[in-house]
Amino acid sequence: MISTPLLIDGEERATAATFPVYDPAHAGAIVGYAAAASAADAQDALRAAQQAWPAWAALSAAERAAIVLKSLDGLDTDADERADILSRENGKVRFEAGIDLHVFVGRFHQAAEFAPALDETEQIAGPPFSTTIAKVPAGVVTIIYPFNWPLAILAASLPYALMAGNTVIVKPPPTTPLSSVRTLAHLVRALPPGVLNVVTGPDEVIGPVVVGDPRVRHVCFTGSVGGGRRIMAMAAPNLTNVTLELGGNDPAIILPDADLDEAAFGRLSFATFMTSGQVCMAIKRLYVPRARYGEVVDGLRAGLEGTRVGPGLDPGTTMGPLNTARQRDYVAGLCEEARAAGTEVLTAGELTGESDGNYLLPSLVLDPARGLKIVTEEQFGPALPVIPYDDEAEAVAMANDTWSGLCSSVWSADTEHAMRVARQLRTGVTFFNNHNATAVDERAPFGGFNQSGIGRELGRQGMVDFTETHVMSVPS
């Protein structure tokens, strides 16, 4: 049985209270226990971060980047064990768990490429003033992130915040904290005490401290729209800066001239059903020319026939369970609502795991009414509405008719045509002939419009957003 402590001021801290972490592949099975921080523990983490900040901020960005990269040394020694833990607590297939750990490391190295630019200042020559514009660390940063790709998503902000000169408090997701704490313990041991602190436990206990305390100057949150609203409400009294990535209802538009060979259908399917559909930037709505509708449905269904749904550690599994029974029931309910409305729902694949896990076979929901929740809400599970359209303007209008605005994609054999359509889409990122995490350019900023969030992660902007701008003007 796995157990993990808190990580505060460079030391491990056991707690009297713990909470269980369940295996979504087997109902009631426990993977391990994580420490449940008290409000006093959270205050200690905040105090440690605040005390460590002046010395950390005084280093150059290049020096901080070198120290942070050095803290990754030795991560590969227990990578297989941590990937197994992640697969067990999350439910994802073992291959994806290994990729999650790999992306975590890769994003640290990508962030290090942007760090030295923070040591440079912008100069505006006089008269009337000679002005210097500098980017300086913000202070203590809290990072709260979700269960689905926990380490990869954490690394979209953690290395950027650290290299920008901030000290950090990390709050791992309550359903998948074990692999995160095991991973971050390597970094905590190598960094100066207090620079990185990790607290696990109840949101209602930890949140008012690590989000609502005035010593916290920036909160980075990835999760649901409702969660984002709660973060903003806690941060508002102190006017604390927030970066919010709140998911999306991503549209993909197939244009009439798209090349849809076997590889293209493979990308479409993977972009939709990766991690059992539990990815913020997955395809959530697929718009298809009416003349090619049957071809697309047949192509997707053929690709899903070989899906094997079971425990993530089973080498024959291609899709794991959903992380929670509640989410499984929610997605199943969306499909049932569509069926009740007379919509055809095609289900494919084979269930190889025990029936007591949070399993769902992947589904295609064919030509649903536009007001059904399967179309208007983010499924965050293995169910895709496939919607026909008659002309390009109609497709764009339907794609933009949503509360969200995270990602979108356009599928076409003509890049110029695809770009014309892309410019009309109201999303933070638009992909071409691909979609989801495998299509992300790590050098570019990532984030969404509308209720998909505030601010950006990754890229140069993702690092600058963890700083404050300091202007110094001398009369000339």
Is residue 204 flagged as an active site residue?
no
* Known catalytic membership, residue 280: yes
E-strand stretches of 232-298: 241-245, 251-254, 285-289
Containing 374, the helix (H) or strand (E) segment is helix 373-376
B/e letters for 230-264, b = 16+ CB within 10 Å, e = fewer, are ebbebbeeeebbbbbbbbbbbbbbbbeebebeeeb
Whose tokens are 């899903």? That residue is 304
Give the three-state DSSP class for 425: coil
Q: Name the catalytic one among 96, 245, 378, 457.
A: 245
Query: Which residues neighbour 427 within 8 Å (Cβ) at sequence distance 6 or greater?
Result: 248, 250, 251, 405, 406, 407, 408, 448, 449, 452
Contact 450, 404 (CB under 8 A): yes
Q: What is the distance of C-alpha 218 from the center of its chain?
A: 18
Residue 383's H or E segment, with its range, is strand 383-389
Axis-axis angle for helices 94-114, 61-70 (nearest 10): 160
- Angle of the 178-190 helix axis to the 94-114 helix axis, nearest 10: 30
Element (H, E) at 294: helix 293-304
Residue 413, helix vs strand vs coil: coil
Among 220, 280, 335, 407, the active-site one is 280
- The catalytic residue positions are 245, 280
